[in-house]
Amino acid sequence: MKSPSRMSIRVCVLLALIGAAPLAVGGSNRLLATGGVMQIEGSAGGGAVPWALIAGLGTDAQIGGSAFCTKVHVQKFELASCGLAIGFHDRVEISYARQRFDLDEIIPGESIGVDVAGIKIRAFGDAVYDQDRWYPQLSVGAQYKRNKDFDFVPALLGARDDADIDLYVAATKVYLAGPFSRTWLMNGTLRATRGNQFGILGFGGDRKDGRSLNLELSAAMFVT
């Protein structure tokens, strides 16, 4: 299998509707939606991109968390993902997600499952409250992924491994008084991965087995 290019860029633009935020529990003294909208791998983030924000709405004196379920339809495929994340004192996050990639329209009765366990640590900065400072909130994270159906489609396509670890650095900044009198969020994430399509098609390949660097950019406007 041919792995992703050595450096690729993924861009995600979100309209962050408050109603689209995940179910949040525990401490809740942070601004609504600043614990991330949803991220299919379980981490606090948006769509397919993990953000530097810590899950839940808890402050540095609280423990918070969030849970989600979502489905994404792309042409003849469907990806369903459910997960949860817990944030400890707005500093450390642990997360878990279970993904199911439905191949029924291509291969009747077949699907691919992926389990993702993650950890994220806020290194410095505060995306929301450091409005008078130019630098963003920066976090480092790791995601352990295991493909539960590796021996079928991924192996046939040339993937080498059924499990691996993604490493990433994320920088997030929230602008409370942005354009159109709205709150805006900007994020950049640099991910080192051997995953083929987030690990759905396994890890590594017979043509290139090393890690690739993916630059993932996202922007969100809070409409309420």
Domain that holds residue 36: 7-222
pLDDT average, residue stretch 189-196: 96
Does residue 119 surpass a pLDDT of 70? yes
- Give the pLDDT score at 27: 52
pLDDT tens-digit map of 123-140? 999 998 899 999 999 999
pLDDT tens-digit map of 144-153? 999 999 998 9
What's the number of domains the chain is made of?
1
Distance of CA 15 to the CA centre of its chain: 16
Candidates 46, 136, 220, 79; CA nearest to 66 is 46
> Residue 41 in contact with residue 93, Cβ under 8 Å?
no
CA angle, 83 then 90 then 223, to 5°: 70
**Model confidence at 10, in pLDDT bands (50, 70, 90)?**
low
Does residue 13 surpass a pLDDT of 60? no
Does a structural domain hold residue 1? Answer: no
- Give the pLDDT score at 29: 59
Does a structural domain hold residue 145? Answer: yes
> How large a percentage of the chain has pLDDT more than 90?
56
Percentage helix, strand, coil for the chain under 3-state DSSP, each rounded to 5: 5, 55, 40
pLDDT average, residue stretch 188-201: 95
pLDDT average, residue stretch 101-130: 91
* Sequence-ordered list of residues with C-beta below 8 angstroms from that of 84, at least 6 positions apart, any chain: 42, 65, 66, 67, 68, 95, 96, 97
Rg of the Cα trace of the chain? 17
Q: In what order do the strands lie in the sheet with 38-39?
A: 38-39, 45-47, 49-50
Give me the chain's average pLDDT, please: 85
- Give the pLDDT score at 16: 42
pLDDT tens-digit map of 154-170? 998 899 999 999 999 99
Does residue 96 surpass a pLDDT of 70? yes
- Give the pLDDT score at 53: 94
- Give the pLDDT score at 145: 98
Does a structural domain hold residue 2? Answer: no
Q: What is this structure's pTM?
A: 0.86
> Residue 47 in contact with residue 14, Cβ under 8 Å?
yes
Candidates 218, 197, 171, 192; CA nearest to 46 is 218
Candidates 58, 65, 56, 36; CA nearest to 48 is 36
Does a structural domain hold residue 140? Answer: yes
pLDDT average, residue stretch 65-75: 85
pLDDT average, residue stretch 72-84: 87
- Give the pLDDT score at 208: 80
Backbone angles phi, psi at 215, to 5 degrees: -95, 120
Q: How far is CA 65 from CA 2, 8, 79, 91, 213, in A?
A: 37, 31, 23, 12, 29
Does residue 177 surpass a pLDDT of 80? yes
